[in-house]
Amino acid sequence: MALNLLELVTAGISRENTGKMAALLGEETATVTGSLGAVAASILSGLMNKASATGGAQEIVSRIAAGEFKGDLLNNFGSLLAGGRQTETLLKTGGELVSFLFGSKSADLGKVIASSTGLAKGSSSSLLGMMAPFVMAVLGKQVTSDNLDSEGLTSLLNSQKSAVQRAAPAGLPGVLGLLSLSQLGGAPPTVPIGIPGNIASFAKGLWPFLLGIAALAMLMKTCGQPPVKETPPPAAAVAPDTTAAASDTSTAAPDSAAVAADSLGAFGEYELPNGVKLNIPEFGIERKLIAFIEDATKPADKETWFSFDRLVFDTGKATLKPESQEQIGNINEILKAFSAVSLKFGGYTDNVGDPQANLRLSKDRAEAVMTEIVKLGIDKARLDAEGYGAEHPVADNATEEGRQKNRRVDCRVTKK
């Protein structure tokens, strides 16, 4: 059986140690348990991405060889979670490691994990700090036992791609600067030997431009295709701290609750318990909602919201555009398959315009989504909707990108 580092990490953390982490974070043990896979996958993705960069694999091997990340940490992990100076040292080491892997995007990673897992943003960053040394120690143990050099390390990490892609949180590609996680372990085209240095430098500088051209070509290719493969432009998959979202009255950009296509991953068939098959993206709201519903350790609560990622409204209105119907239909099918589940939809706007108008618009949009699902046959008694206006922004309203992220519709499970 092929080695699975992700399984080694999650299986290696005992229930007792998970409880200790939960106590330190002030979170429910079940929430932390359900977050371990996403956190570990994120760290492994960072290691894979780092190893693919020039000299990156050797840097990782050097850190392991220095003796900081080996079996001793695995054996003593519980004592490092007892609080006090040892825990402070663990968090400091973990923070440095996260910074080594993700640089200035470390804070963004914390938000992405919070969005995916239901953890508070501060908790997700702290859990990253606790988990990063453990993940590195699991990797270090394997590197040491197999006497792997930088090439062997890279090969080992790249063999984990499939497992990591399945467990990684939505939005991770953007943190890593990738179009999708399928690029993990890859490298930009190399300049052939013998090309003069000035041409090589030009080619290296041209690579980001070529990536942009490729992404534009992919977007153009989707035009005219059935909506099953289509995702409208904008924002990132970051959920609000406590509430949900919609759109405002500004006219500078389309009003949507869509995320970048690269954040959604590949579309694929998913069969619901009642036999209905959906064509849904690997990191879209549908899969996250289904996973939450099926996870017996995660009760319905008021904090766990899931952002719609393919809804588009007419600007300044609560009228859903036709391309939104695919995702509306998917949520309808999920509710039919899980007949005990009830949902609440929440609308959210940016802070542009009149606050009362924004509040009304956010409420109207949440209700518009609910109404469309009722039309498809779901009992209205199972649904609720509320508008929150410009409360609880998830991004900076000073930028258009931030305002676009703050305009969306979310839902949460109120009964399961």
Question: Among 57-61, 301-305, 314-318, 392-396, which is the least confidently predicted range?
Answer: 392-396
pLDDT tens-digit map of 233-289 = 333 333 333 333 333 333 334 465 666 555 788 888 899 999 999 999 988 999 999
Ramachandran class of 185: left when φ > 0, alpha when ψ lies in -120 to 50, beta otherwise:
left
Which pLDDT score is estimated for 410?
A: 94
Among 318, 389, 319, smallest CA distance to 352 is for 389
| pLDDT at residue 15 greater than cutoff 80 | yes
For the CA atoms of 208, 211, 216, 222, the dihedral, rounded to the nearest 10 degrees, stands at -160
Which pLDDT score is estimated for 304?
A: 92
Which pLDDT score is estimated for 218?
A: 47
Question: Among 45-59, 174-188, 249-263, which is the least confidently predicted range?
Answer: 249-263
Radius of gyration of the chain (CA): 22
Beta carbons of 349 and 407 less than 8 angstroms apart = yes
Which pLDDT score is estimated for 387?
A: 95
Listing DSSP states for 320-347 in one string gives BPGGGHHHHHHHHHHHHHSTT-EEEEEE
Which pLDDT score is estimated for 67?
A: 65
SS (H, E, C) 173-218: HHHHCCCCHHHCCCCCCCCCCCCCHHHHHHHHHHHHHHHHHHHHHH
Instruction: State the average pLDDT over residues 15-22.
Output: 92
Beta carbons of 311 and 251 less than 8 angstroms apart = no
Q: Which residue has the higher pLDDT, 231 or 155?
A: 155
The mean predicted confidence, pLDDT, of the chain is: 81
DSSP reduced 3-state for 280: strand
Beta carbons of 412 and 242 less than 8 angstroms apart = no
Which pLDDT score is estimated for 193?
A: 36
Tokens of 274: 């009642």
| Sequence-separated (6 or more) residues with CB below 8 Å from residue 335 | 341, 343, 373, 378, 382
Which pLDDT score is estimated for 413?
A: 97
Between CA 398 and CA 300 the distance in angstroms is 34
| pLDDT at residue 219 greater than cutoff 80 | no
| pLDDT at residue 136 greater than cutoff 50 | yes
How many other CB atoms are found less than 10 A from the CB of residue 120?
18
| pLDDT at residue 98 greater than cutoff 90 | yes
Instruction: State the average pLDDT over residues 66-87.
Output: 81
Instruction: State the average pLDDT over residues 226-233.
Output: 34
With 0-12 / 13-18 / 19 or more C-beta atoms within 10 angstroms meaning exposed / middle / buried, residue 40 is buried
Between CA 258 and CA 312 the distance in angstroms is 7
Which pLDDT score is estimated for 1?
A: 52
| pLDDT at residue 196 greater than cutoff 60 | no
Which pLDDT score is estimated for 224?
A: 45
Question: Among 64-73, 172-181, 333-342, 381-390, which is the least confidently predicted range?
Answer: 64-73
Which pLDDT score is estimated for 204?
A: 44
In DSSP terms, 271 is beta-bridged to: 277
Query: What CA–CA distances, in Å, run from 11 to 15, 36, 135, 201, 267?
Result: 9, 10, 11, 45, 29
Instruction: State the average pLDDT over residues 15-20.
Output: 92
| pLDDT at residue 170 greater than cutoff 50 | yes
Which pLDDT score is estimated for 362?
A: 95
Which pLDDT score is estimated for 197?
A: 43
Which pLDDT score is estimated for 347?
A: 95
pLDDT tens-digit map of 324-361 = 999 999 999 999 999 999 999 999 999 999 999 999 99
Which pLDDT score is estimated for 229?
A: 31
| pLDDT at residue 91 greater than cutoff 70 | yes
Beta carbons of 113 and 27 less than 8 angstroms apart = no
Beta carbons of 231 and 259 less than 8 angstroms apart = yes
Q: What's the DSSP call for residue 273?
A: T
DSSP reduced 3-state for 22: helix
Instruction: State the average pLDDT over residues 55-77.
Output: 82
